[in-house]
Structure 1
Amino acid sequence: MKVTLAGFNIDKNLIDELPKGTIATPETISAAYARISRDPRDVPELRTEAREQVKKARRSNKAIVFGMSHHSVAEHAYFNFDILQISRLALEELEARRIGVAYTEKSQRYITLQGDFVSPKEFDKEDAKRFQELVKFQNDFYLNNLQKLTDHQFVSNPHLATSSYKAARKGTSEKMNRAKNTLEGWAKEDARYALSLATQAQLGLSFNARTLEHAIRTMRYSNLSECRELSQKLFDVTKDVAPSLIILTDPDEFQKAFKIELQDDNFKFTRNNLKRYIGSIINKYYGKLSEDLPEILEEEYEKLILSNNIDLNIAAAIIHNNSKLPVEDAFRLATSILSDENSDKEFFKEALKYISAFDSISREFELTGDLKFELVVSASNFAQLKRHRLMTLLAQDYDPTLGITIPASIKVIGAENELNEVCRRSEKLYYEFLPKYGKAAEYCLTNAHRRRVLIAANPRELYHFSRLREDEHAQWDIKETAGRMMKLAKKVAPLSFMLSGGKDKFEKMKKEKYRSKE
């Protein structure tokens, strides 16, 4: 056996120092690996040839990746991006990709926020001014209550507070004082519930070329100007580095290479068309919904849907994801549609209307078997939930009618009414902006505001979720959600989930289970 290190990520500043005329591109790796299955030569020889003949390597990539539809070859090429001055709302759309990605975000637990925010380009001059006034009001809550929340955490957690004081007396730096950082972090996490979804974030982002291409194509037709701008910037910084691997992002180059027009209709039209179509169906059927429902188990804001009817599950998922209906009404509406042999075919034809041979079917088609949940979660909760990318996550738009999530600590320090007022003013501007700006109106809402989310996960994925989010170190909001989800899961599969729970409890739980004869 022989193992050779063929390549690895290095900082772009080092790449820029390569001798003049050097073409540094990950395309050569992809081109070499693409030929492994059909070329008898050893891989190092294929890589050498690709490096020496970059133009030929690029032609090879175009022919193999796109001409022969071997798209997986593009996954050998990786790109790293520093993303700065992006809003929390746009971040949700960027991080919708699940495979061939890595995200590391600026934490709202470890870093004190300074009030930086994105001013949406959709807003006209007068509305932008009103929005800025709202954000200042939201940020004032954060800044004015942060110290009170910190003091509360020190009083409520005397053991950690004592550890913090001892570490400080020993000369431990603030950066290394873990107890102090933990207590201050909890305070920052709760203070952020008043902050806008326009609050600036930053992250380190890694995409393979296939995922990068999909992100650029999807966000090019986003309902948010910020995401359309992000799509263009991702394209601009990579188009000259690896043009052969992201050719589906460039309609002109695609037509030159393959003499056919690039089909982007799925990205352009599917989502907005479905929202309009589902809206018309709701108007048509809502007064005469079927009363038939699958069995649904419930724990506060979490529901577990027990249905194995594949067509029904997918239809309900499409309805739910393109409306603000609760899951019960989505299933009632889906049942009404599927009971009519004319409307059932029309419904699925509409859902698949703009799909081409190169497009993946929408994510709603994953919601078939497994364990299916509907959750109502805050924006702070969702910011953590979306990291569990292997689960199917279908999130509705934010909906102020679902109420807000108020941290217990904010109630204890007497700031509940103040947070309610922040959210009331946020909702007022949101409803004024919604008819004018659509999705961009959500920039007005806060981390306390909620949305409905459909989730499908197999037991193995739920175990991972439970280990991480039921652990003692988990943030309280998502920890409560995870606990209630697992309570529902154990009702239908108690044996399969006998060892679910946070990592901190695992050894004790396992000993108890294996000692018990039950």
Structure 2
Amino acid sequence: MSKVILAGYNVDAEVLADIVKSAEGDWDLTPETLSAAYARISRDARPVDELRQIARADVAKTRRQNERIVFGLGHHSVAEHAVFNFDLINISRLAIEYLESHRLASYTEKSQRYIRLDSDFLIPEEWQQAGLKDELKAFILYCFERYEVVLEKLKFNGIDEKLAGEDARYMLPLAAFGQLGMTLNARSLEYMILRLAASPLKESREIASKLLEAARPIAPSLLRYMDPTPYHTERFEDTHNTLNRLMSHHPVPVPVPAPVPVPAPAPYEVALLDFTTDGDSRILAALAQHFIGGSFSKVQDWIDAIGDEGRLQLFNAITGKMSIHDAVPREFEHGIMTFEVIMSAAAFAQFKRHRMTSITWNPYDPDLGLTVPKAITDAGLQDELLLINNKATKLANKMGMKHPATPYVWTNAHRRRVLITLNLREMYHMSRLREDESAQWDIRQLVGQMSELARQVFPICAGFLGGKDQFPK
């Protein structure tokens, strides 16, 4: 008969510290014992709970075993059984972008939409070294002052306080502090520390040091290789220098293939660059192959032969009993799309959380203009945002537009180009969440345009894209 044993679960570190303090004997509480016990499963026939007991009995031996298995034999997945929770407090919005670019972790972040913000912010060391500390501080304080003014004026115009705060935050810079809770395993933590340690931002490098300082005493056998190599520290500069050299010989930019000719509605620039051209038949064939058998190409030929009406009947059979809480089947992952999107920092802060997509991005670019909330325009307050932009641009020019620490002055309204590749299954998840009536307007409109383009190229299988509130329709 099968047996299921709860082997461990998250407990607050302060509770654990109190237990150890009040307990008799020498307690060495570490998740390394779970990693070591599970590492032995493949070569030791004893029950897993007994292996855990053995690992707990001699932590020093357990750590030596982990080092040999994880780093000596290269079985790094063993480290994934050790999990950490971190509180990250007083981290700039810019550094949070660096941090949350790591896919294999869980984040819950302080929302600038729901919380009225105090004037808490970072003066980066890079700006102090450049002799611009006072100018940057004055600019940030000005942004917070105008944030309060705009917030109150929007409320005076009858806008709900939460919605007013949601739009007033477009005045705030990326130097504003945030906070988050983060959960990740030791393998992901090691890689995160390495990447942050190689960051051009001093703030990110300090976060790397503090993460290591907090975690290494708990699990020293699982955290070892975190010193950046030249691959991590010099790759960007090498690439930049090579591109400059190539451009000197080829001054005319290489033509970029035209996007798929599907119109992108204003005011957002959303272009569908590429997609699975036979996406509907490919997805439906993948679903049908389980029942029909034989090669995929044979089944896809049959799917093509049954026509649109037959394909629609099959799609309806698959999705007919689906509720808003159900994910579409995994076979929908065989339909792929690549978008280029110009989005605000406010929208990107939400979009980056879709970590099952492939997202790469350019720096914030003042030449792309600003995303100005309609409520601010309707209230005649757009000049407030434009004045902040002028001040930010002047400061950025003093610091140097290409300096890694310059983006601290850009606001939630500033924009960047983002390249996104995702499958249709993830598009459904994104659409349900971000097109719902409760979603923030900026990302709701952006994802709505992505969904419209998806429906044009996957007319059958993308038919149910839309927010949760639209699902019954």
Please confirm whether the aligned pair reaches a TM-score higher than 0.5, indicating the same fold.
yes
**Mapped partners of 2:470, 2:37: distance in 1:** 48
State yes or no: 1:394 paired with 2:395: no
Please point out which of 55, 70, 79 is paired with 1:74.
79
**Aligned twin of 1:497:** 462
**Offset of residue 58 of structure 1:** 0.9
**Aligned twin of 2:28:** 23
Correspondence list, 1:58-457, <5 A? 58-99=63-104, 101-124=105-128, 126-154=131-159, 183-249=160-226, 264-287=229-252, 289-290=254-255, 293=258, 295-299=260-264, 300=266, 301-306=269-274, 370-434=336-400, 438-457=403-422
* Contact 1:379–1:450, Cα closer than 8 Å, also in 2: yes
**Mapped partners of 1:501, 1:307: distance in 2:** 19
**Offset of residue 307 of structure 1:** 6.5
**Mapped partners of 1:377, 1:292: distance in 2:** 21
Q: Which runs of 5+ in 1 are unaligned?
A: 155-182, 252-262, 310-367, 509-518
State yes or no: 1:37 paired with 2:37: no
What SS is found at the alignment partner of 2:152?
Answer: helix
**Offset of residue 295 of structure 1:** 3.4
* Contact 1:152–1:409, Cα closer than 8 Å, also in 2: no
Deviation digits for residues 287-317 of structure 1 (CA, Å, limit 9, x no counterpart): 16347546353414100012679xxxxxxxx
**Offset of residue 277 of structure 1:** 2.6
**Offset of residue 206 of structure 1:** 0.9
Specify the code of the residue in structure 2 equivalent to 1:51.
R
Please point out which of 435, 442, 466 is paired with 2:431.
466
Distance 1:186 1:59, change over 3 A: same
Distance 1:231 1:498, change over 3 A: same
What SS is found at the alignment partner of 1:289?
Answer: coil
What SS is found at the alignment partner of 1:109?
Answer: coil
**Aligned twin of 2:298:** none
Aligned-residue Cα RMSD (Å) equals: 1.9
**Offset of residue 236 of structure 1:** 0.7
**Mapped partners of 1:377, 1:275: distance in 2:** 24
* Contact 2:275–2:337, Cα closer than 8 Å, also in 1: no
Distance 1:407 1:245, change over 3 A: same
What SS is found at the alignment partner of 2:341?
Answer: strand
**Offset of residue 211 of structure 1:** 0.8
Specify the code of the residue in structure 1 equivalent to 2:6.
L
**Aligned twin of 1:168:** none
What SS is found at the alignment partner of 2:273?
Answer: strand
**Mapped partners of 2:375, 2:242: distance in 1:** 43
Distance 1:459 1:56, change over 3 A: same
* Contact 2:276–2:337, Cα closer than 8 Å, also in 1: no
Specify the code of the residue in structure 1 equivalent to 2:225.
L
**Mapped partners of 2:158, 2:256: distance in 1:** 48
* Contact 1:297–1:305, Cα closer than 8 Å, also in 2: no
What SS is found at the alignment partner of 1:202?
Answer: strand
**Aligned twin of 2:5:** 4
**Offset of residue 124 of structure 1:** 2.8
**Offset of residue 205 of structure 1:** 0.9
**Offset of residue 139 of structure 1:** 0.9
Deviation digits for residues 453-483 of structure 1 (CA, Å, limit 9, x no counterpart): 0000000000001111110001000011001
**Offset of residue 430 of structure 1:** 1.1
Distance 1:135 1:44, change over 3 A: same
Distance 1:72 1:411, change over 3 A: same
* Contact 1:28–1:51, Cα closer than 8 Å, also in 2: yes
| Percent sequence identity over aligned pairs | 43
**Offset of residue 119 of structure 1:** 0.7
**Aligned twin of 1:54:** 59
**Mapped partners of 2:253, 2:33: distance in 1:** 60
**Mapped partners of 1:288, 1:440: distance in 2:** 28
Specify the code of the residue in structure 2 equivalent to 1:121.
E
**Mapped partners of 1:109, 1:247: distance in 2:** 39
Specify the code of the residue in structure 1 equivalent to 2:26.
G
Distance 1:383 1:40, change over 3 A: same
Q: Which runs of 5+ in 2 are unaligned?
A: 278-333
TM-score, length-normalised on structure 1?
A: 0.76
Distance 1:152 1:69, change over 3 A: farther
* Contact 1:61–1:244, Cα closer than 8 Å, also in 2: yes
**Offset of residue 61 of structure 1:** 1.1
**Aligned twin of 1:159:** none
Specify the code of the residue in structure 2 equivalent to 1:118.
L
What SS is found at the alignment partner of 1:201?
Answer: strand
**Mapped partners of 2:440, 2:232: distance in 1:** 35
**Mapped partners of 1:464, 1:65: distance in 2:** 35
Deviation digits for residues 98-152 of structure 1 (CA, Å, limit 9, x no counterpart): 12x1111111122110111011011136301000011011111101111221233
**Offset of residue 501 of structure 1:** 0.3
What SS is found at the alignment partner of 2:174?
Answer: coil
**Mapped partners of 1:427, 1:51: distance in 2:** 58
What SS is found at the alignment partner of 1:497?
Answer: coil
* Contact 2:274–2:339, Cα closer than 8 Å, also in 1: no
Deviation digits for residues 174-198 of structure 1 (CA, Å, limit 9, x no counterpart): xxxxxxxxx3221111000010100
What SS is found at the alignment partner of 2:339?
Answer: strand
* Contact 2:371–2:413, Cα closer than 8 Å, also in 1: yes
**Mapped partners of 1:376, 1:291: distance in 2:** 17
Deviation digits for residues 64-116 of structure 1 (CA, Å, limit 9, x no counterpart): 112222111111111011101100000000001112x1111111122110111
**Mapped partners of 1:290, 1:104: distance in 2:** 41
What SS is found at the alignment partner of 1:287?
Answer: coil
Aligned length: 408
Specify the code of the residue in structure 2 equivalent to 1:120.
P
* Contact 1:294–1:307, Cα closer than 8 Å, also in 2: no
